[in-house]
């Protein structure tokens, strides 16, 4: 079963949408297997966004993601990586469709509410960066038989 790393960014925490975002993924039929509210240390932010380190906005990105607490999560389900990306909407909120998280809650690319892994490789890497194995919980939900 696939897992993905999702994170409500500091803007989402400050705007009180943690619960709304968790609800969307619960209602869809995915399973939460790990979660924590945390303040990201600068070094972890630089590792997480390592692929962007040559970009002009890298400093701004690291400053923003470390500017307040984030809500880090691991979700499990069939095709959860690509489906979560669809539910998040396009990176730039001016292009994200209404009904998506960014389409409904964000205006500008620098403050786009949520992060989600974009591939199985980045999901494995990001889960490993943010969570210890023992922080993830394997369990069954009876309702699952009515979802897949």
Binding positions for ATP are: 9, 57, 85, 91, 102, 112
* Beta bridge pairs of residue 110: none
Phi/psi at 2 (nearest 5 deg)?
-75, 150
Which of 69, 82, 110, 129: binder of ligand IDP (CB under 6 A)?
110
Residue 104, CA atoms < 13 Å, CB-side half-sphere: 12
Phi/psi at 141 (nearest 5 deg)?
-120, 130
Letters for 35-74 (x = contact with ligand IDP by CB under 6 A, - = none) are ----------------------x--xx-------------
Token look-up 């691991």 returns 74
Token look-up 């009180």 returns 16
Q: How far is the CB of 117 from ligand IDP (least distance, A)?
A: 8
User: Interface with ligand IDP by CB under 6 A: which range of 18-26, 71-79, 105-113, 127-135?
Assistant: 105-113
Active centre residues (catalytic): 115
């Amino acid at each position: 079963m696939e897992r993905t790393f999702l994170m409500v960014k500091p803007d989402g925490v400050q705007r009180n949408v943690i619960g709304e975002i968790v609800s969307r993924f619960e209602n869809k039929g995915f399973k939460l297997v790990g979660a924590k509210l945390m303040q990201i240390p600068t070094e972890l932010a630089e590792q997480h966004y390592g692929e962007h380190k040559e970009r002009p906005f890298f400093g701004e990105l690291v400053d923003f993601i470390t500017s307040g607490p984030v809500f880090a999560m691991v979700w499990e389900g069939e095709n959860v990586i690509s489906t979560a990306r669809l539910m998040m909407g396009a990176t730039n909120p001016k292009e994200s469709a209404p009904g998506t998280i960014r389409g409904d809650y964000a205006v500008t690319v620098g403050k786009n509410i949520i992060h989600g892994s974009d591939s199985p490789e980045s999901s494995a890497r990001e889960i490993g960066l943010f969570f210890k194995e023992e922080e993830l919980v394997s369990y069954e939900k009876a309702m699952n038989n009515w979802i897949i």
